[in-house]
Amino acid sequence: MSDCIFCKIVKKEIPANIIYEDENFLAFLDINPVSYGHTLIVPKKHIIWMHEANDSLISEIFKLAKRIMLAIKNGMKSDYVQLSVVGKDVPHFHIHLKPRKLSDDIHDSSTKKYEKGKSEEVALKITQAL
């Protein structure tokens, strides 16, 4: 889809801090993270809603989510990683992975910006833990 921001990131038309890439999926840091290390996983094929994806893709994306969750947990020294599938903000099926501490208010979804150079540092921590 030509105007989908995630499709543009997949095609490398828009820069992103990529955590993981294979032939079917791309994982990258959210530019407006709820917590540092907040990562999005998208299928490279444009699929708007999760229920439109075939069972195989759903199975593979959740296996990948588990692998990346562990890398985020270890790399960011978080207590756990919150997973959500929302899909309304960008019309492209995606999974949010948010590193959390047990003391976090999980209902607080306020976002922050990365300071210059911080996103690259965070991406490196996670990719090294993969």
Q: Rounded to whole angstroms, how far apart are CA atoms 95 and 97?
A: 7
Distance of CA 103 to the CA centre of its chain: 22
CB of 25 closer than 8 Å to CB of 10: no
3-state secondary structure of 29: strand
CB of 34 closer than 8 Å to CB of 111: yes
38 is catalytic: no
Question: Which residue among the candidates 38, 51, 92, 94 is catalytic per the annotation?
Answer: 94
Residues that are catalytic: 94
